[in-house]
Amino acid sequence: MLRATLLLLAAAATLTFAPAAQAAPRGPNLGTMAGYVSDGAPVNSVSATFTVPRIRTGSPADSFAGTWIGAQAPGVNGPFIQIGVNELHRFLGSHANFYYAFWSDTRLHYHPLPLFPVRAGDVIAVSLRRTHGGWRLAIVDATTRTVNRFHTRDEAHGDFNFAEVLQEDVENEIKHVPFPYPRLTKVAFRNLLVDSVPPARRRHAVFRSQWMTTSRGDLGPTKLAHDGFSLRREHLGTAAATYLGIAEPRDAAANIFYAAEARWTASTPRAQIAAESALYAAALRSGYQAFARAHWPSRLLPYIHALLAKIRADAAVVAAAPQQATADLGAWRASEVRAGRALSAAGYQVRIRMHAPSI
């Protein structure tokens, strides 16, 4: 009976990266996930430990959260794999709480595939490790000594460079909005390792903070310390809200552009390259003007000026795409990768100095 219930729950919801659409939060909507994402170096393994958070009294019906680790490759709908625990309250008319271990990936269309039931307060260890033919996954309930280890050939290909350690407000697949977010006890990860080393020793990688917006306010991670972190209530300051409001259209345009640019080949018509690159170049210029006009605290001005220089440089590379990408697509892509990374690094420096999510 329990397995049938879990399969019904899995069919009713999916883990996706769609933006949140909850009851009118104040300030920018920061999405549906909170935690850390490691960026900047290849990822071959991720592991962490957490205690299953308890759903508190007063949580709304049909509330649904997930606590998980994952690995992802760049690109829209790029290869992705995850493992963790889902927490549900009074779901689909039930009057009970459900907690269960799951895994998912791109081939499964992000649908959580149940592994076994768990309980609030259980200590869970999760791990992902890349192999030559796919991934080896493991989830261990140290409290009940329940173990599930298995290998999948899914997601065997892709340049994985994002390690994710996140709490999620899970999306309703039918309505394309998040389910209500439950009231949970403390959400905390510990013993975090990426490629078998803790965050402080991971060279050439940046652990970027990610915040989420719920109907009761924003949640974000504490600073990484002793190879772990927890979630807490957060509040965006005026400067941070201004920055994110300006950055959001540019980020959306970037996602569209990079998805289009990934399909370019040596035979792509120059007119198509010109049209697709012109849209992103215009978004970069618009962002530049908005950042330049806004009023910033004096302590941020050096970082804003550095950001403006990187926006200008990236816009020049993008604007040159019709000529340079047509002549030598590989060389142009290399220059755009350098410019895009420099812009991302400059934005990161601004964000961390205004206490804003850095991804």
305 within some domain: yes
Cα–Cα distances (Å) from 30 to 82, 212, 264, in that order, read 21, 5, 31
Q: What are phi and psi of 235, to 5 degrees?
A: -145, 130
Q: pLDDT at position 174, please?
A: 84
DSSP assignment of 122-186, as one string? Answer: -EEEEEEEEETTEEEEEEEETTTTEEEEEEE-TT-SS---EEEEEEEE-EETTTTEEPPPPPBS-
pTM of the model: 0.86
Say which CATH number the domain at 40 has: 2.60.120.1270
For residue 109, the number of C-alpha atoms closer than 13 Å in the C-beta half-sphere is: 6
Q: pLDDT at position 15, please?
A: 35
The two three-digit tokens of residue 189, written as one number:
């990860």
Nearest to 214 by CA among 24, 55, 70: 24
Q: Is 333 exposed, middle or buried (0-12, 13-18, 19+ CB in 10 A)?
A: middle
pLDDT digits (tens, 9 = 90+) for 61-78: 999 999 999 999 987 678
Q: What are phi and psi of 269, to 5 degrees?
A: -60, 140
Residues 108 and 246 in one domain: no
Q: What are phi and psi of 163, to 5 degrees?
A: -105, 130
Position 90 confidence tier, pLDDT thresholds 50, 70, 90? confident
For residue 105, give the amino acid letter: D
> 86: domain range?
2-234
Nearest to 33 by CA among 139, 171, 163: 171
User: Does residue 258 surpass a pLDDT of 80?
Assistant: yes
Q: Which among 218, 234, 250 is the end of a domain?
A: 234
Q: What does DSSP assign to residue 34? A: E
Nearest to 79 by CA among 158, 173, 182: 158
Residues 177 and 201 in one domain: yes
Residues 11 and 159 in one domain: yes
Q: What does pLDDT average to over the chain?
A: 90
Secondary structure of residue 64 in the 3-state scheme: strand
Residues 216 and 293 in one domain: no
Q: Which among 234, 260, 276 is the end of a domain?
A: 234
User: Does residue 98 surpass a pLDDT of 70?
Assistant: yes
